Amino acid sequence: MQNFDYQTPTRLIFGKGVIAKLPNVMAQFGKKILLTYGSGSIKKIGIYQKVYDLLKGYEIIELPDIQPNPKYDPSVLDGVRLCKEHKIDVILAVGGGSVLDCSKAIAAGACYDGDPWDLISYKVKAKAALPIVDIITLAATGSEYDCGGVISRTETNDKIGYIDRHLYPVVSFLDPTYTFTVNKKQTAAGIADAMNHVMEQYFVEDATLLNDGFCESMFRSLMENGRKCLENPEDYTARAEMMLACTYGCNGILALGNSPSGWPCHGIEHALSAYYDITHGWGLAIITPRWMKHILNERTLPRFVKYGINVFGIDKNLDKWEIANKAIDETYKFFESIGIPMHLRDLGIDGSRVGEMAHHIAVNEGLDQAYAPLTEKDIAEIITTSL
C-alpha cells in the first residue's frame, strides 16, 4: 500500500430542493458573483431565474456560452478578465463538468498576474484561487468533488487536465431533479465518463481489497442506475444514485493507497477531443474496450478476471482467459446498449491523423508509466482498432 496525503474539503448539499440553501451559502463571500454557465439549458429548466430570485442584492456578472471541452480562448480568458475587471468575490458555476472545469481555471487565473496558461500547464504553481460554488446539472465528471479540470486549447491541439488543491469547490449543490431533462446522448456519455473514471483507478498493480470493492460497487451502481435513467429520465432514485456515484469519480477516494494507474484512456481520449472536439464520454466508451483487449496479458489477467466475476457476475469456474475476454465483451456491449456509437468513424474520425495523435499522446501523457505501459505504437494500435 502506497503512502498518501488526501483531503476533499468540499461540502456536498444533495437532494431535491436544496438550492433553497444557496443564499445562506453565498452569504459567506462578498457581494460580487461571476455566474458561469453553458449553452443556456439552465434557462429552460428554470435554474437561471431561480438563482437570480434567490440572490437579490448581489451584483451578478455573467460568463455564458461555455462549451463542452471548455476552451481556454475565449472562455477562460474572458472569465479571468471579468473577474479582474469587476473584482469578483466568488464564482457560481451552474451546469455540468465543462462549466465547472472552466470556472476552476478562471478562479486560479483571477488570482494570478500572468498568463493563466502558466497555471494550467504547471509552469507556475497557483498560490490562491477565488472560491467556487457550483450547482450541477449533469451527472458525469465528478468535478464537483475534486480539485481538477480539463481545458482545451484549440490552436495547439492541447486538452490538459490540471489539478490544484486550491480548486476544490467550497460547496457543490446536487439536485437530481436538475438532471431529469438531460437527453439520452448526454446521459449515456455521463455514464461512460463515470465508468471510465472508475476503470482508470481499478486497473492498477496492487489495489486494496477495500478499493476493489468500492470500485466494483461503483461499476454495478452506474450500470444499473444508468440504465434506469435512460428508461425513465424522471426516475428520481436512479438519477440521485447516479449523481452521487459520479461525485466519487475523480477525487481519489476510490484508490487511496493504490499505485498510480496513469489514467491511460483519458490520456488517449484527451487527444481525440483536442483534435476532433468529440463528446468526452463517447470517446472514452469507444477507447476503453480496445484498450482492455490491448493490455490483456498474463500479468494483467487476474485484474480482468476479478472485474468479470465481481462486476458482471461471470461464472468464476470458467477458464480465466474466457472470463477476461467475456468481461471485455460485456464492457463493450454495455456501452453499446446505452446507445453509444462504438466506432470513432461514427464520430467523424478517420485514420488520417492517427500517427500524429499517437505521437502527441506519447509525448504529453506519460503513458509509458501507466499500469500497462503504452508506447506510441501501442497508442496508435488502440486508436486504429477503435476507428
Footprint on this chain of its own copies (rule: CB under 8 A): 1-18, 21, 176, 208-210, 212-214, 216-218, 220-221, 224-225, 236-237, 240-241, 244-245, 253, 256-257
Starting at the earlier edge strand, list the strands of the sheet with 32-36. Answer: 59-63, 32-36, 90-95, 132-136, 171-174
Q: Do residues 353 and 339 lie in contact, with contact meaning Cβ atoms separated by under 8 Å?
A: no
CB nearer its own copies, residue 21 or residue 44: 21
CB nearer its own copies, residue 4 or residue 122: 4
Smallest gap from Cβ 54 to its own copies, in A, equals: 17
CB nearer its own copies, residue 217 or residue 337: 217
Smallest gap from Cβ 272 to its own copies, in A, equals: 30
b (16+ CB within 10 A) / e for 118-145: bbbeeebebeebbbbbbbbbbbbbbbbb
CB nearer its own copies, residue 2 or residue 49: 2
Smallest gap from Cβ 179 to its own copies, in A, equals: 13
Rounded-to-integer distance, Cα 272 and Cα 290, Å:
15
CB nearer its own copies, residue 111 or residue 253: 253
The identity of residue 133, as a single letter, is: V
Q: What torsion, rounded to 10 degrees, do the Cα atoms 242, 244, 247, 253 define?
A: -110
Q: Do residues 192 and 285 lie in contact, with contact meaning Cβ atoms separated by under 8 Å?
A: yes
Q: Do residues 100 and 169 lie in contact, with contact meaning Cβ atoms separated by under 8 Å?
A: yes
Rounded-to-integer distance, Cα 194 and Cα 60, Å:
32
CB nearer its own copies, residue 38 or residue 169: 169
Smallest gap from Cβ 17 to its own copies, in A, equals: 8
Alpha-carbon distances, residue 202 vs 98, 163, 219, 325 (angstroms) = 24, 20, 10, 17
> What is residue 64's DSSP assignment?
-
CB nearer its own copies, residue 253 or residue 301: 253
Q: Does residue 173 sit in helix, strand or coil?
A: strand
Smallest gap from Cβ 346 to its own copies, in A, equals: 31
Smallest gap from Cβ 4 to its own copies, in A, equals: 5
Smallest gap from Cβ 267 to its own copies, in A, equals: 27
Smallest gap from Cβ 298 to its own copies, in A, equals: 23
CB nearer its own copies, residue 224 or residue 350: 224
Q: Do residues 218 and 193 lie in contact, with contact meaning Cβ atoms separated by under 8 Å?
A: no
- CA 343 to chain centroid, in Å, comes to 21
Helix axes 376-386, 354-364, angle to 10 degrees: 130
